[in-house]
Structures are given as C-alpha cells and as structure tokens.
Structure 1
Amino acid sequence: MVCIAGAALLLYNARINGRPGAPATEAILIEHGTIAAIGGNAELYERANGAAPRVDVAGRRIVPGLIDGHAHVLRAELTWGREVRWDDAASLTEALELVRRRAADAPPGAWAHVIGGWHPARFREARLPSLEELDQVAPDNPCYVQFLYETAVLNSAGMAACGFSGAVGDPPDGELERDQHGELTGVVRGLGAFQHCLAKIRQQTFPEQVDSIRTLSRDLAKYGLTGAVDTGGIGIGPGVYEPLYEVWRQGNLSTRIRLYLGAGSRGDEREQLKDWMKYLPRGFGDDYLRITGLGEIVQLACWDAEGLEPLEVDADSIHEFTEISRSAVAGGWQMHVHAVTDEAIGMVLDAWETAAQGQSLKASRFMIAHADGASSQNLVRAKALGVGFALQDRLVLRSAATAEKWGKAAAAGAPPLRDMVELGLPLSGGTDATVVSSINPWRSLWWFTTGQNLDGGPRREEAHRLSRAHALDLYTRGSAWSTFDEHRQGQLASGFAADLAVLSDDYYAVPDDEIPDIRSELTLLGGEVVSAAEPFEGLEDDS
C-alpha cells in the first residue's frame, strides 16, 4: 500500500451529502486512518489548522469504500495475474485480439485464458469463439475460454495440455463435445470438465500466486472496492489460502477480505467443516483479513448450483446439513449459504429453524446468498428467524436462461427486492464474481437500479428496482453489517475507518447507462492510498 506522508489528510471541495449540481463545499478530515470529521470547507480548514495536507478533489463525489458482499476473490486470485478479461469487449473480434495480445506477451506454452464475467450476447457476432479461431490468435499457447458454468472452448494446444484426444472418454461430471464424425470440437461442458482444465491452468509457483493476489487486490481498488466477502467454493481447500496469508503478512492487501470456510470437495463435508472449526479460531485475523464464518457450500448435495435444474437431495444429506448448522450455532459461527431457488431456500430455513431451537439468528448474521427465486412465504420465515440475504447481479448475465427455465414473469420478478425491503430484511450487495459476473461493482449497481441485463432476457419489474441511494447502501452498510463490521466500515462518518472512493463521475447524476463506467480516481483504505488515477498521482509516497 502507498502511504500519504503524515498521519492526517484533508479532502475538500467535495460532494459527500450534497445533491448533484449543488456547490461542492464539503470536506473530510482524516486522522490516523480514521475519519475525524465531515463538514464544510471553512470549518475543517480551521480545525485542521494547517497540520493536514489539503487535497482539492475539484467537485468530485466521495462515497464510502464499496464492499462486495459475495464474491470469489480467492478463486480468482489463483489465476488473475495472467487472465484475459472480456468483461467490456463489444465484439468477438475485439475479444480475440485481447487473447492474441496475451499470447504474444507470454512464453510458448503459457496459458491464455478467459474465466467468466462476459456473455456472447454482448458481442456483435452473438456467439462463442471456435477452436479454429483460438488457434489463429494463439497458435503456440494453450487457450481456454469459459462462459459462465455452461460451456468452455479450448484451442488445439489447450486440448493437448488437458490430455483431451479422440481416444479419451468424458471426464467425470463433464462432457467433451464431438462433431458428426466423432471428432472433438474443442467445446467442453460440465463442472468436472471445467475443474480438470482449471487445475492445469492454476499450476503456478508460489511467488506467481502471491503476485496474482496483489494484482487482483489493486484492480479491485481501482473500482473503489475497499472490501470483499470471499465465500470459498468448490476446490477451495486449506492449501489455497497460503498465498493470501503471505500477502497479508507482508502488509500488501489493498482490500479488506472476509473469509468463509466451506467444503471444497464432496463426500466428507461434515468432517471438513469440523476441522475448520476445530483448528481455526472464529474471528481469526485483523481488520484487513479475517475469518468470518462457514459457507457458501457446506454440503454439496444441498447445493442448487445455478438454480436451473430441479433440486434432488437425499435425507442423509439434509440431515448432515442440519447437523453442521447445529454445530455452527453452538460454536457461535456465522453461516452464509448458497440457495438460488425457493425450494433450496426452504431447505436451508428448515435446517436453521431446527438448529436455532426457537431462538433468533439475527445476532449471528446468518445469510442466504442469491435467493433469486425466494417466495413471500420463505421471506416471512427468514424475517422471523433473523436471517439476511446476500444479493448479487448474477442475473445480469443469466436473465435469459432463467426466463427459459422459470418463465418470463418469474425471471422479471427475481430477486423480489421490493418484498425484501418492505419486510426490513438485512441485505448486502455484491457480484458473485468472477465466473458468474464481472468484478465491476458499478455494473452491479446499474443492475440493482435499472433492472436491465446484458443477455437479452426480460428486464426486472420496476417494483423490484432500487433507488441509487438504496443500492449503494447495500454495497456499503449492508455488506459491512453482514460481517460484523458495521461500526467501523460502510459509512462516511466520524470514527469510521477512512475507507473511501473519490469517483470519476457523480453516481447520483450520470445517466443510467453510464453507471457501469464509473471508476475511483482515488481510493483510500484506512487513510492510505491504495489506488490513484492521474488527477491524484502526486499523492503517492512510496516512503
């Protein structure tokens, strides 16, 4: 991280609480990493008394540092430093050029890979790349392009690196597509196939993994993200955390990370969770990196994936999920659990009601993630139990597929934001990045406020759209509340950590379609500069 010389800083000529178009006469005084005061320019000039360096933000909007309330930061960190991102590509031609550049800069044999955050519906060509096209732009490098959790495409070198040939069968829980002549096309499907390919891509040295984490943390700060809730996931076992802890020990995290510990593989989930709870103290860490609870997957048979297929769970798995929940309640561990469909939400609530034994879980901050298909009945149950919801813009790239399975009316009402708000349910905002969505929080805020999507599916009903202020509140105070950080993070107020973003454009004034293009020109984490664009580069002080 980059420190500003001295222990104090005054940002002035800002818009903080002021309306768009009003004179930008507000200021923030920061002392020792904490917001000391917010007020008018003249008032805080006098209070600072010349002791604090003054930074003119020239009328820019300042907002609390954003906190992604549900993301897969750790999983992305395994490959981020070498990934090609197609999040903003407008055509397949443009996207393939990005792959070509990556391959040209990489040594022969190094992977050129794209892992999520994009949709072919955004391309003028409206399609996936082919093996042949990937061969043309990366002839000497294995290439892998994953589209959500639906399909991935490899080039010839990628197929060879993964050991896929005409003689091999399909991997477990995966499929290798073949043409009418039985020849492999380069297209693979299924979680087993994706995991097989990703295991090859993720073969990095420890220093490379550490550097990848630093890069991702800095990239998050460029969006004004000062916090992220990492919810684990399939394949995330104990060894995966070591590079992250190394960056933390070095003091090089540019984002506050909250970790949920889950089951990384199928078969012995309860034992995995028992080991986590036995060997790692609840709350281990500090303000920059801390273990928060269990999730998002604690029993894989109870996981409803994308919510597009019927959920079939055996009684033994439901019993195991319930017993894990009992252990969490008894041990004071928070839970944050994946459930897309109303059926899955009902199953989770059944288990938590049993585990709670008539007590409220609100003080424990139990959260259900996604909840796109939540019914009014289950929302009322959640309210009575004290359960909150972690919401993301996952449908920004999944609206059309959801409408195909659920029907247009159901997709247009997902998630039922108005019902959640009217019940006063605790809500956090996030992305579910990086495979399902982009890391860009401003795209997520655009989705929350406009109900629009990028895949041609039905727009969310107006009743289930949030105001810009309410959406930002989910991304700040809501996410901070979900991890017990609401008394130090998520607000611009005296006594709170100086986590803030000075925006490139006024979030409250720009047209709807420009919200996703907002960036942070100056991001502070605990009063330290973790990202500075050209207008503020002079603040950086490597000492």
Structure 2
Amino acid sequence: MRFDLVLDNANILTVDPARPRAGSLGIIGDRIVAVAGRGELAQFDAERTIDLDGHFVAPGFNDAHNHMQAYGATLNEVPLHGDAVHSIEELVAAIAERASSTPQGGWIVGAGYDHNKLAERRHPTCHELDRVSPDHPVLLNHTSGHFATLNSAAMRLARIGEIDVPDGGVVAVDDEGRPNGLLEEQAQQLVRSLVHPRSVAEMSTNLGLASDRYLSEGITSCQEAGVGGILGTAEPVEVAAYQQARRANRLRVRVTMMASVDALHSCAHHADDNEPFSLDLGMHTGFGDDWLRYGATKIFADGSLMGCTAAMFEDFDGQPGNNGYFQMPESRLHELILAAHRSGWQVATHAIGDRAVSSVLDGYEAALQQYPRADHRHRIEHAGMTRAADVDRIARLGVIPVPQARFVSEIGDGMLRAIGPDRVGDCYRQRSFLDAGVTLPGSSDRPVVNGAPLLGIHDLVNQRTASGADFNPAEALTIDEAIHAYTVGSATASFDEHRKGSITSGKLADLVVLDTDLTAIEPDGIGDTKVLATMVGGNFEFDGASLA
C-alpha cells in the first residue's frame, strides 16, 4: 500500500467507539484508509508524511443548520451585532457613516441588530433612521431573521400601508396607528422583494467569503437551511450559485442544501405513482456529489422566541394576550408536511414555540400513519420550547430535533426574558434528547449568531448567557457529547454517517487540528481553543499553522 498522505505523531480523537483514540492515519485520495497508533504506518510508502507534533485532531465540524449564502452577504453589510453597536444612537451613527459613502438613492443594508442588546431594549424606528438617511432607502435585518426595520424612503418603495400584508406577518404601528418601520415575519416580503433575488455572481461571491471563514473555524460540512428563499427573500436560482462557486473552487466546504418548500410544486405523473412534490431551483447537469447535494425540504411553522412571535401554549412573560402565531394555518402546514413526506422528502420544519413543536409532531405523526416510511429522519429545526411529553413523541416517531446551543450565550438573556423563569426547563433542551435516545446534531443558525463550532461546543457544555446567568444547566452536555453532536450527530441528521462524522477507514478525510486537546481542558476554556488547520478531502484548505 502506498499512501498519498500520512499524518503521524498526532493526538487523534476519532469519535469512533471501535477505536476512540489513534496516533496516525493514512489517506489515499479524499478518503481515510488506515487509522493506527503513532509510528505504525511508517512501514508503508507515502507520497508525503506530516508530523503533527502531538497536536489534537478531530473529525471536521458539521453545522447542521446555517444560512451560508446569507452569512456571506452580511460580511459586506453594515455590522450592527451586539459587539458593534450598543444603543440606537450608535446604530444610527453606523447608518449615517455608510450613507456618507453611498450614492444617493442606493440601498443601505444593516445586518445583525438585536433589540434585546440595545440600551433601549426596543427596535429602532423609521423616524430615527430618517434623521441620518432621508434619501437612501435603509433596511436593517434583525439578527433573528424574523424582523426588519425600514426608514421612510424604504417604506415608500415597499408601499407600506398601501398594500395588503402577507399572511403570517405584521406591520407594526406607532401610538397613532401609523407604520413605524418594523416588519414582523412574513411582512418582510414587502421589502425584501425589492433587494432580492441577488445575482448568481453576487451569491457565488458570498459563498466564497463564507467558505473562508468556515474553514478557519474547523467547519468541513454544513447544511444550508433553505435554498430558494426564506422569510421574504426570493432566490429562484440559488442552487446555480452554489454550483458556480464550486466550479470556481470558492465553495470549499461540503454543503447539503434544504430546498425551501416554497420552491416545490406538484408535477404531472403517471397514474400509478404518488403525486410528486418536486422542485427546479435552477438545477443543471453535474449536480449532486460529496461536495454539494440536496437534503431535506424546509418549512416554516412559526417565528422567533427572542422576538416573541413563536407559537406558544402560554403568553410570553409580561405580555398578556401575546402567545405568538403560526406562519400559516395549521391545516396548510400539515398539508405541506404530508405532500413532502409522501413524495419521499426528508422534512425539516422550523418550529420554536412549544405549540408549534407539538403541531409539527402532529403533522409528522399523521403523515407516517397514512404513508409509513422507515428511517425518514424528519427534523424539527430549533425545537426552542419542547414539553416533556413531546420529547417522548420525538423519540417515538424517530424525529431529529436541531436546537442551537449557540443561542445560549449570544441571545440567551433575551430568550429568558421572553419566557420567564417558570418555563426555562423546556427551553433549548439538549440532554433531554440524548437521554431519550434521540440523535442530537450541532448547529448555529448563522448568521443569527456567531457560528464558530468551538463556541457552540462551549455553550453545549457551559450553559451560561452573556450576562453570566445560568441558562438551562440541567441540559448541559459533557465535552465528548458536545463534540459528538457537531460530528456524528450532524452527519446522521443528513444521512451522512457512513461517510462523515468520525475518523474511520473508508470515510472522507475531513479533519480539524486544534491547539488544545478539548477533552483535557476546563470547560470554561473551550471557546478559547484555536483552530490550527482544517482538512477537507485530504487537502489542508486552511493551514493557519503551516502544518503542511
């Protein structure tokens, strides 16, 4: 045997129960073909051998729910996240600065503001934005993706107050009943249709920017939670952008794409066949391999926990009469689930409130009863509030929840304020799912929060908010369990456990090299760990320490 590459003198966590630790591995092409102890592969020929000097190696991280193209776009927008602005005054100043260099009439788009983190703890208004940008249309995208704020110029272009608000959306008004610039949920369609769809070239550029960041964080695979457009966006040929980025070698992490259910449609079919619920989305010859392929279809059930629009059984804390709402009638939600399930899709439904989670499970259960299917792996994206009885149902039905521990430290304080202290035990469960025998993936929902997997592992283990408050400590995982979530757990959520998730002979050579053994440090230090290198398919796509 002649290896293309041998990595030796390493401290390898394989996440493979058959051999938990190793010291060297051999690679041919893009596959791992041998896993051994230190020095044990020296007897074989190798094109190249790299001494890793005892560095810690783990399987490449896999973010099971992110928005890659959208994240890449934010890198060129006005940064308004909690580290950048702390008050509406600072937010408005950032918009003023961008306006000074933007041609008159050009759009100004801000990304990532969180009203919970502003000193005023409210959304900005159109009037505040008008003071610094009366001639430029301004669109501020909330970090959750469930709100947008406009200035008056943008509202005029979007004809806010003149045309009907889409179902599942709200145009907020001031005390005098006039629109104040805030759009909730599906109401964002009114403005986002003015800035979408993006060009294939722009989206391809965004994917390249995102790839660079992901590789520097140890991400080798991710699952794109909604190509084709979500929450008011429309990207009819987004898949073409992914293919173009891949051809140009700018898409350098593996991507499993969830097609937005809005892109699916009934197709003509033979009388003997089930009615197919299918899509186009600009697919063309050459699509579908280890780098880029379709996964689930994505459906939206409800809104946001931090924004108090998720569908809940009880009112949000201190907000009598507000228990959120569904994005569509529940009957329609269940119809979409049934149609997608019947046509062979894995179904991934966004459900955050406990009422939404319960309703989605009702839809899955009804679909499975009518059209039984083994190993469907239907998913609930987020599962933000899950009652104990529904944890049991998730396990019984074989559903995979995809919660985001990354929310704990970044937006956890806002979520705790929204639900109050009595319901914290149901909020973003992690251990409850594992204890019930349920697959638990690791994910971020980036760009909602910083998606670095090491920060996600930190939050899975530590369960503390940005203010230092305990979030849901009963749901904390061990470090090993958290690593498993971001590797094997995420691979299993996309039917990829036979090719990804562990350092095992026959699997893809996707690895991350860290400066510290994650399993041997204090939990508080997980987030400070550094990524030295990231390998995808046997090649170091990121090599910050010049290991190669």
* Superposition TM-score tier, normalisation by shorter sequence: 0.7 to 0.9
CA deviation profile, 1:331-352 (whole Å, cap 9, x unmatched): 3221111222232222222222
Amino acid at match of 1:523: T
Query: What secondary structure sits across from 1:496 in the alignment?
Result: coil
Asked if 1:424 corresponds to 2:469, the answer is: no
Amino acid at match of 2:30: G
Asked if 1:59 corresponds to 2:62, the answer is: no
The answer (yes or no) to whether the contact 1:236–1:264 under 8 Å persists in 2 is no
- Measured in 1, the distance between the counterparts of 2:238 and 2:384 equals 30
Amino acid at match of 1:255: V
Distance apart, 1:467 and its partner CA: 0.8
Partner in structure 1 of residue 185 of structure 2? 191
- Measured in 1, the distance between the counterparts of 2:330 and 2:431 equals 30
Distance apart, 1:458 and its partner CA: 5.2
- Measured in 1, the distance between the counterparts of 2:99 and 2:42 equals 52
Asked if 1:487 corresponds to 2:498, the answer is: yes
Partner in structure 1 of residue 319 of structure 2? none
Distance apart, 1:33 and its partner CA: 0.9
- Measured in 2, the distance between the counterparts of 1:286 and 1:179 equals 55
Please point out which of 352, 374, 379 is paired with 2:386.
374
Partner in structure 1 of residue 480 of structure 2? 469
Q: Residues 317-466 of structure 1 correspond to what in structure 2 (within 5 A)?
A: 317-357=329-369, 363-393=375-405, 394-434=407-447, 436-454=448-466, 456=467, 459-466=470-477
**Structure 2 length-normalised TM:** 0.78
Amino acid at match of 1:277: S
- Measured in 2, the distance between the counterparts of 1:504 and 1:310 equals 46
Distance apart, 1:192 and its partner CA: 5.2
Deviates more, 1:161-170 or 1:325-334: 161-170
- Measured in 2, the distance between the counterparts of 1:285 and 1:46 equals 38
The answer (yes or no) to whether the contact 1:260–1:296 under 8 Å persists in 2 is no
Distance apart, 1:225 and its partner CA: 0.9
Distance apart, 1:32 and its partner CA: 0.6
- Measured in 1, the distance between the counterparts of 2:37 and 2:82 equals 38
- Measured in 2, the distance between the counterparts of 1:140 and 1:53 equals 60
> Cα–Cα, structure 1 residues 133 and 530, in superposed 2: closer, same or farther, change >3 Å?
farther
Partner in structure 2 of residue 3 of structure 1? none
Asked if 1:286 corresponds to 2:289, the answer is: yes
Distance apart, 1:46 and its partner CA: 2.7
Asked if 1:221 corresponds to 2:215, the answer is: yes
Distance apart, 1:42 and its partner CA: 1.4
- Measured in 2, the distance between the counterparts of 1:10 and 1:137 equals 59
State the identity as a percent. 25
Partner in structure 2 of residue 40 of structure 1? 37
Query: What secondary structure sits across from 1:419 in the alignment?
Result: helix
Query: What secondary structure sits across from 1:420 in the alignment?
Result: helix
CA deviation profile, 1:340-385 (whole Å, cap 9, x unmatched): 2232222222222222128865511111121222122122222222
Distance apart, 1:60 and its partner CA: 2.5
Partner in structure 1 of residue 253 of structure 2? 255
**Structure 1 length-normalised TM:** 0.78
Q: Which 5+ residue runs of structure 2 have no aligned equivalent? A: 16-20, 269-274, 317-321
> Cα–Cα, structure 1 residues 203 and 392, in superposed 2: closer, same or farther, change >3 Å?
same
Higher relative contact order (CA 8 A, sep 6+): 1
Asked if 1:310 corresponds to 2:311, the answer is: no
- Measured in 2, the distance between the counterparts of 1:32 and 1:61 equals 22
Distance apart, 1:410 and its partner CA: 1.4
Distance apart, 1:217 and its partner CA: 1.9
- Measured in 2, the distance between the counterparts of 1:339 and 1:179 equals 31
CA deviation profile, 1:236-285 (whole Å, cap 9, x unmatched): 453333212222344432111111222349xx98899x77526589x961
The answer (yes or no) to whether the contact 1:119–1:397 under 8 Å persists in 2 is no
- Measured in 1, the distance between the counterparts of 2:95 and 2:541 equals 28
Partner in structure 2 of residue 242 of structure 1? 240
Deviates more, 1:192-201 or 1:256-265: 192-201
- Measured in 2, the distance between the counterparts of 1:176 and 1:169 equals 14
The answer (yes or no) to whether the contact 2:302–2:326 under 8 Å persists in 1 is no
> Cα–Cα, structure 1 residues 338 and 206, in superposed 2: closer, same or farther, change >3 Å?
closer
> Cα–Cα, structure 1 residues 218 and 96, in superposed 2: closer, same or farther, change >3 Å?
farther
Amino acid at match of 1:481: T
Asked if 1:89 corresponds to 2:89, the answer is: no
Please point out which of 489, 510, 524 is paired with 1:478.
489
CA deviation profile, 1:73-123 (whole Å, cap 9, x unmatched): 24435x24513445572664998998788778877766554322x646667
Amino acid at match of 1:531: F
Partner in structure 2 of residue 163 of structure 1? 156
Q: Which 5+ residue runs of structure 1 have no aligned equivalent? A: 1-5
> Cα–Cα, structure 1 residues 36 and 376, in superposed 2: closer, same or farther, change >3 Å?
same
> Cα–Cα, structure 1 residues 7 and 242, in superposed 2: closer, same or farther, change >3 Å?
farther
Asked if 1:76 corresponds to 2:76, the answer is: no
The answer (yes or no) to whether the contact 1:81–1:211 under 8 Å persists in 2 is no
When the two structures are aligned, how many residues end up with a matched partner? Answer: 511
Amino acid at match of 2:216: K
> Cα–Cα, structure 1 residues 137 and 487, in superposed 2: closer, same or farther, change >3 Å?
farther
The answer (yes or no) to whether the contact 2:61–2:219 under 8 Å persists in 1 is yes
Query: What secondary structure sits across from 1:426 in the alignment?
Result: coil
Amino acid at match of 2:481: H
Q: Residues 257-272 of structure 1 correspond to what in structure 2 (within 5 A)?
A: 257-264=255-262
- Measured in 2, the distance between the counterparts of 1:359 and 1:168 equals 44
- Measured in 2, the distance between the counterparts of 1:197 and 1:89 equals 27
The answer (yes or no) to whether the contact 1:335–1:366 under 8 Å persists in 2 is yes
- Measured in 1, the distance between the counterparts of 2:493 and 2:122 equals 38
- Measured in 1, the distance between the counterparts of 2:71 and 2:539 equals 25
The answer (yes or no) to whether the contact 2:25–2:36 under 8 Å persists in 1 is yes
Partner in structure 1 of residue 18 of structure 2? none
Query: What secondary structure sits across from 1:28 in the alignment?
Result: strand
Deviates more, 1:201-210 or 1:166-175: 166-175
The answer (yes or no) to whether the contact 2:277–2:339 under 8 Å persists in 1 is no
